[in-house]
Amino acid sequence: MSLLDWLIVAAYLVWIVYDGLKRSKATDEVEGYFLANRMLPWWAVGLSVMATQLSAITLVGTTGQGYEDGLRFIQFYFGLPIAMVILSLTLVPFFYRAKVYTAYEYLERRFDARTRSLASLLFLLSRGLSVGVIIAAPGLILSIVLGWNLPLTILAIGLPTALYTMVGGVQAVTWTDVKQMAVILAGVVATVVALLWGMPSDLSFGDALHLAGATGRLQAIDLKLDLHETYTFWSGLIGGLFLMVSYFGCDQSQVQRYLTARSIDEGRGSLLMSAFVKIPLQVLILLTGVLVFVFYLFQQPPMLFNQEYERRVRASGRAADYATLDAQFAQAYEGRRQAAAGYVAARSSNDAGRIAASREAFVRADREAHAVRARATSLVREVSGDEDYRDVNYVFPTFVVTRLQIGLVGLMIAAIFAAAMSSIAAELNSLSTATIIDVYRRHVRQEASDAHYLRVSKLATAAWGIVACVVAMYAANLGSLIEVVNKFGSFFYGSLLGVFILAIGTRWATARGAFWGLVAGMSAVAYVAMTTTIAFLWYNVIGAVAVAGVGAVISLFERQRSAPAGLETRPDSVR
């Protein structure tokens, strides 16, 4: 990176940490620290909701996903608009009127402390794992740019973010999110412009899309109903709907966002912003990855984007095999480049036969290049012993640091930092809130001053920051990071949604039914995950249905058994 790029990154880091540290107004009380006294405007809350989602995983993992698979991943979000409408009409007013700090507080009012504690524990476990993955993404960027080892880069990302989150609470999280969204959008748009500018002069945007389309990368919708296929229209619409309702309705990192709004209507507006903006934004980011693929049709990419693993293979006893594959890849690349140019030239003619033949030749050449790359990946797995190795997370970072112009490199690195820090801060703040409200204040020290709870909250934020950094060190090579974080979430979210369905959707569910239903839901998801190849999006449906079903059966049995004695197990609802 050039001096200008370093100055841009340094200026961003100093600015955002300073801005976060000064956001300590009205944070000397618990409500001010955790909920900003419920006085934030809807647009700031909405941008914070989006920034929490739009992590560095989105920029690194989703662009890599677009490079490898194209637009198919967008189906993951098809349930989002419906989920936001449902939540705006149900849980937003419900939680806002309940005056809770966490979503799980209500479960004790409706059921018992045991159910609340289990639900909160599941949240802490899922978010603690996920925030580690969120830190891993920018850690990969720095490891490439600076040549540092991964643990050092992870600490460089996680610790400063934990610092300003500790000091400023949710106000610091929200207002820095607003600024970070501006940096992210500027970086993405600038990168797309640079990609288009860097294409061959005789290649139009339409030609680029046809090249991507010939390889299937513009196929955004798959209508087949296959529970083993991760991204289809039905998995996104049904599984994605359950995931989004549970994430935005039951996950404290999101519930806490709209609880800071000034009113119910402003809380609704913050969620509806995501309903209308999230999918177009994801399409833009996926399209960035697709354009990186087209760019590398005419500029030779490395056979492997993870240079650290390449160095390991070259230093091993299989170095000669790797060199042979590298020569084959260079040859395959040249054949693909010529075939791509031939297809573009044929499209300018009116000869349908020539167009079809050149298109087929290009697709065949692309498959050959992909096959060589696949063999190289297999070789890396053999040498390293890492059966899960994939370098999809390194595609976009490599492009940024080797192909973007001076100045744009720094802007894009700053954008990735912004995406990482916004999500990390939100997650650490929500983890601290649930730890203090649902665990410490409920089970350890029920009576204390606000000053005491604030001190413990800041210590909890620091502790979760350290946990997240440790998790991040193991997450970097688990495959596409955008998939990893959603797999973590899908393992828990459906079951959490199921217990809230029992709590809010029924008047007759009992505490015992809710608790054992939650246990049954997690057990069902674990069984399916370990014994089948069902795609992870369906875990959300399985967990919710299992919790609601088992909980309902136990509750009805318990009420029938107690009915002759005229017993009531729990109040029907919050009074």
The pLDDT tens digits for 529-539 are 889 888 887 88
Q: Using pLDDT thresholds of 50, 70 and 90, give the confidence band for residue 552.
A: very high
DSSP state of 445: -
**224 and 160 part of one domain:** yes
Asked, for residue 496, whether it belongs to a domain, the answer is no
Whether residue 287 contacts residue 218, with contact meaning beta carbons closer than 8 Å, is answered with no
Helix (H) or strand (E) holding 216: none
What is the per-residue pLDDT for 485? 64
**338 and 224 part of one domain:** no
**316 and 465 part of one domain:** no
Q: Using pLDDT thresholds of 50, 70 and 90, give the confidence band for residue 569.
A: very low
**329 and 462 part of one domain:** no
Asked, for residue 142, whether it belongs to a domain, the answer is yes
Where is the domain boundary, 390, 418, 443? 390
Most confident of the following: 12-26, 130-144, 307-321 = 307-321
Return the bridge partners of 261, or none: 40
| Half-sphere exposure for 304 (CA within 13 Å, toward CB) | 24
- Boundaries of domain holding 319: 307-390
**37 and 138 part of one domain:** yes
What is the per-residue pLDDT for 125? 85
What is the per-residue pLDDT for 213? 92
Q: Using pLDDT thresholds of 50, 70 and 90, give the confidence band for residue 26.
A: low
pLDDT > 60? residue 478:
no
* CATH (domain of 288): 1.20.1730.10
Asked, for residue 483, whether it belongs to a domain, the answer is no
Q: Using pLDDT thresholds of 50, 70 and 90, give the confidence band for residue 308.
A: confident
Q: Using pLDDT thresholds of 50, 70 and 90, give the confidence band for residue 342.
A: very high
Return the bridge partners of 40, or none: 261
pLDDT > 70? residue 65:
yes
**110 and 139 part of one domain:** yes
CA angle in degrees (0–180, nearest 5) for 261-265-266 = 35
**459 and 324 part of one domain:** no
Number of domains in the chain: 2
Asked, for residue 510, whether it belongs to a domain, the answer is no
Most confident of the following: 59-73, 91-105, 173-187, 335-349 = 335-349
CA angle in degrees (0–180, nearest 5) for 496-502-504 = 100
What is the per-residue pLDDT for 570? 47
pLDDT > 90? residue 297:
yes
Arithmetic mean of pLDDT over the chain: 85
pLDDT > 70? residue 420:
yes
Retrieve residue 236's tokens: 């996104």
pTM: 0.81
Residue with the bigger pLDDT between 368 and 249: it is 368
What is the per-residue pLDDT for 369? 93
Angle between helices 511-531 and 113-146 (to 10 degrees): 40
Asked, for residue 94, whether it belongs to a domain, the answer is yes
pLDDT > 60? residue 135:
yes
**290 and 328 part of one domain:** no
- Determine the Cα–Cα distance for residues 493 and 47; give it in Å rounded to an integer: 23
Tell me the average pLDDT across 362-368: 94
What is the per-residue pLDDT for 333? 94
DSSP state of 407: T
What is the per-residue pLDDT for 548? 93
Count of residues in the chain: 575
**207 and 315 part of one domain:** no
**264 and 148 part of one domain:** yes
Where is the domain boundary, 357, 390, 423? 390
- Determine the Cα–Cα distance for residues 418 and 37; give it in Å rounded to an integer: 25
- Determine the Cα–Cα distance for residues 558 and 510; give it in Å rounded to an integer: 8
- Determine the Cα–Cα distance for residues 228 and 211; give it in Å rounded to an integer: 29
Where is the domain boundary, 333, 356, 390? 390
- Determine the Cα–Cα distance for residues 289 and 323; give it in Å rounded to an integer: 28
Retrieve residue 245's tokens: 């309702």
What is the per-residue pLDDT for 131? 83
- Determine the Cα–Cα distance for residues 293 and 45; give it in Å rounded to an integer: 35
pLDDT > 60? residue 565:
no
426: how many CB neighbours lie within 10 A of its CB? 30
Asked, for residue 469, whether it belongs to a domain, the answer is yes
Q: Using pLDDT thresholds of 50, 70 and 90, give the confidence band for residue 295.
A: very high
443-459 residue pLDDT tens? 888 888 888 988 899 89
Tell me the average pLDDT across 492-506: 88
**383 and 410 part of one domain:** no
Whether residue 194 contacts residue 500, with contact meaning beta carbons closer than 8 Å, is answered with no
Distance (Å) of CA 248 to CA 253, 270, 316, 516: 8, 11, 48, 24
Residue with the bigger pLDDT between 89 and 228: it is 89
Share of the chain above pLDDT 90, in %: 26
Asked, for residue 398, whether it belongs to a domain, the answer is no
**164 and 281 part of one domain:** yes
Q: Which of 389, 406, 405, 466 is nearest to 431 (CA)?
A: 466
pLDDT > 50? residue 302:
yes
Distance (Å) of CA 189 to CA 183, 186, 283, 356, 408: 10, 5, 12, 33, 11
- Determine the Cα–Cα distance for residues 244 and 88; give it in Å rounded to an integer: 13
What is the per-residue pLDDT for 212? 93
Residue type (1 letter), 561? R
Give per-residue burial for 247-266: e unless 16+ CB within 10 Å, then b.
Answer: bbbbbbbbbbbbbbbeebeb
* Helix, coil or strand: residue 15: helix
Residue showing tokens 């991507």: 212
Asked, for residue 65, whether it belongs to a domain, the answer is yes
